[in-house]
Amino acid sequence: MRFGIDRLLADPSLRAPLAGRRVALLAHPASVTRDLTHSLDALAACGDVRLTAAFGPQHGLRGDKQDNMVESDNFTDPVHGIPVFSLYGEVRRPTDAMMDGFDVLLVDLQDLGCRIYTFVTTLLYVLEAAARRRKAVWVLDRPNPVGRPIEGLTLRPGEESFVGAGPMPMRHGLTLGEMGAWFVATTRLDVEYRVVIMDGWAPEAAPGFGWPLGERVWVNPSPNAPNLAMARAYAGTVMLEGTTLSEGRGTTRPLELFGAPDIDARAVLAEMARLAPQWLTGCALREIWFEPTFHKHVGQLCHGVHVHAEAPLYDHAAFRPWRLQALAFKAIRALYRDYPLWRDFPYEYELERLAIDVINGGPDLRAWVDDPAATPADLDALTRPDEDAWVEERRPYLLY
Q: Rounded mean pLDDT of 301-314?
A: 97
Query: Can you tell me the mean pLDDT for 108-112?
Result: 98
Collect all residues with Cβ–Cβ distance below 8 Å to 319 and sequence separation of at least 6: 149, 232, 281, 282, 283, 309
Question: Model confidence over 309-367: pLDDT tens digits?
Answer: 999 999 999 999 999 999 999 999 999 999 999 999 999 888 899 999 999 999 999 99
- Judge whether residue 66 has pLDDT over 70: no
- Give the span between the Cα atoms of 89 and 57, in whole angstroms: 9
Q: Looking at residues 12-35, what average pLDDT do you find?
A: 97
Percent of the residues in the chain that have a pLDDT greater than 70, as a whole number: 98
Average pLDDT, stretch 294-314? 97
Q: Strand pairing partners for 56?
A: 86
pLDDT at 68 over 80: no
Q: Mean of the per-residue pLDDT values for the chain?
A: 96
Which part of the chain is CATH 3.90.1150.140? Answer: 228-389
Q: What is the pLDDT of residues 216-266, one digit of tens each?
A: 999 999 999 999 999 999 999 999 999 999 999 999 999 999 999 999 999
CATH number (3.90.1150.140, 3.40.470.10, 3.40.50.150, 3.60.20.10) of 228-389 reads 3.90.1150.140
**Are 59 and 88 a contacting pair, CB within 8 Å?**
yes
| CATH fold of 4-222 | Rossmann fold (3.40.50)
| Residue 152 near residue 387, CB atoms below 8 Å | yes
Residue 89 reports pLDDT greater than 90: no
Mean pLDDT, rounded, for 54-59: 93
CATH 3.40.50.12170-classified regions of the chain: 4-222
